[in-house]
Structure 1
Amino acid sequence: MRLPRPRRRLLSALLVLPVLALVAGCGPKTTQWSAPSSPSASPGRGQAASPTPTASPNPFDGKTPRFDPAPPPEPINLAGGPTAPLLSSIPTTQKVAFLTIDDGWIKKPEAIALLKASGVPVSLFLLSPAAKENPAFFKELVANGATIQAHTVNHLSMPSLSYERQKQEICGSADELGKLFGTRPTLFRPPFGDYNQNTLRAAHDCGMKAVLYWKQTVDKGKVRYQGEWGKMQPGDIVLMHFREAYVDDFTAALNAMKANGLTPALLENYIP
């Protein structure tokens, strides 16, 4: 039986709709397979793309003096004997100076960025309890050019102590620092710069190659000179501390070296 023309048109339309739905993707998604996306694939619908991580700018870039590379080191000769030698400078004609930093209780986060920006080597004379409080802080400094040496356990004036008690302070500090950082110190600085013959003997018996003094000190951004004001000589050892004015002190020390035509060098490279 032939249907009237309007009913034939309606039936044709009803037969075509399911086909169009499949073609348009409205039906079950079984017609095409695609590999699952990896974690690094493009984000899905409604998902924001993760920003590409970028390194934060170093706030100290361009704010410290630039130096030529240090010359190849010329290690000095150390006298043998039952005591460790005392050094306030390194006897050298090379135009180098040495920055040393004591204690370690005040750990300014700027110290790490500042060392990275400057690119200079420094020697840290640490109290072992201060280092143990946050070894990760000092490991980051080591990763950027610092070395670690000994500065006692309790920061006592050494001449007030017996030989045995001094030995406990020096050996105890060196042993603990060696455990924390993997390398046992070979240099020692007495607190306040106070020492006697027992200090030098105890340092030697604890395996220290030398006891370190200094020529210049830096505090609150001011360099204090032992000799002629403003003059720093090749081989001079400069002392500063981990203090609140760390950034000012560090910068002042480098500016003084630059003004005297000296390049910061690694102290340990000159002590065999």
Structure 2
Amino acid sequence: MSATPARRILAVVPVLALLVLSGCTAGPVVHARRITAYQPTPSASPFAPSTSPSATAKPTPGSLEWYLSQVPTFPEAPPPQPVPLPATGTAPFWHRLPTDQKVAFITIDDGGLARPSAVAEFIWRAHIPVTMFLNSPAAEEHPEYFRQIQVAGGVVENHTINHNSLAGRSYDYQKQEICGAADKLEAVFGKRATLFRPPFGEHDSTTLKAAHDCGAKAVFHWTETVHEGKVRFQTPEKVVQPGDVLLMHFRPALMDDLLAALKAIHRAGLTPALLEDYVL
């Protein structure tokens, strides 16, 4: 958070220009920033709005400005204390990150169903740290959409090729689904995924071994799901806990889901943080 808005623009504009010139077909994207707390800085956005909202006009419900007006103000996230990884031949499987730091993590899965157009600018302007667990066909079909979220500060991770349940499948099948997706995502985004989420959360010991062998440091489930603006708790605690992982999907109501997740995290006295900063 030390960079000024002007410096953020200078860092991001060359990346956006490269995407325009290349037709968003290939090549790495550098993260523009690490984002942890909402600060209203529309002038810093690389996503030029079609119109300039009036400073006095009340935002229209459902508009981007309305969503931004609903975002809580968070304290700065504490400096990350990465979780030690086991020195074994398998990746750890976590429902929540084992940390007592006052942070929670927003994750978005799949990518093939719906891609609301305002999401990238919302993530940028509201400073929402997100991890995208993508299926590789969706990433290959819509690379420019997910690259915009990368520019806004999101990170791409692995969610297999075909989104089939992996539990009970052979090592070779699981490795192909995980490594194959990792290879394709790396080709599209220029960075190899280091985290993995199995489809439906279904996994076995073979999944953890294959994920490790494909370069995944950790395998993640979730502790809350968010759908159509409602947070559903998967654990006995009905409040977001430190280290919790909130799951949502690229669906039509993603803006509502992001806002609901932010409000739930805020009610718990936590700050949204970037999952990758805690798994090194």
What's the TM-score bracket when you normalise by the shorter of the two chains?
Answer: 0.7 to 0.9
CA displacement, residues 132-190 of structure 1 (integer Å, 9 cap, x when unaligned): 11111111101111000000000000014211010000001011101101101011000
Segments of 4+ in structure 1 off by > 6 A?
Answer: none
1:100 aligns with 2:107: yes
Q: How does 1:1-272 map to 2 (within 5 A)?
A: 55=49, 56-57=51-52, 58-59=64-65, 60-105=67-112, 106-228=114-236, 230-272=238-280
Give the structure with higher Rg (CA). 1
Deviation for aligned residue 1:225: 0.8
Contact 2:121 2:152 in 1 (8 A): no
Aligned equivalents of 2:194 and 2:235: distance in 1? 28
Aligned equivalents of 1:90 and 1:229: distance in 2? 16
Aligned equivalents of 1:248 and 1:218: distance in 2? 9
Aligned equivalents of 1:212 and 1:144: distance in 2? 23
Deviation for aligned residue 1:108: 1.0
Aligned equivalents of 1:117 and 1:63: distance in 2? 12
Unpaired runs of at least 5, structure 2: 1-47, 53-63
Aligned equivalents of 1:251 and 1:209: distance in 2? 29
Aligned equivalents of 2:266 and 2:181: distance in 1? 33
Aligned to 1:159, the other structure's residue is in SS state coil
Aligned to 1:125, the other structure's residue is in SS state strand
Unpaired runs of at least 5, structure 1: 1-53
Deviation for aligned residue 1:84: 0.8
Deviation for aligned residue 1:228: 3.8
Deviation for aligned residue 1:260: 0.4
Aligned equivalents of 1:238 and 1:252: distance in 2? 10
* Aligned length in residues: 219
TM-score if structure 1 supplies the norm length?
0.77
TM-score if structure 2 supplies the norm length?
0.75
Identity over the aligned pairs, expressed in percent? Answer: 49
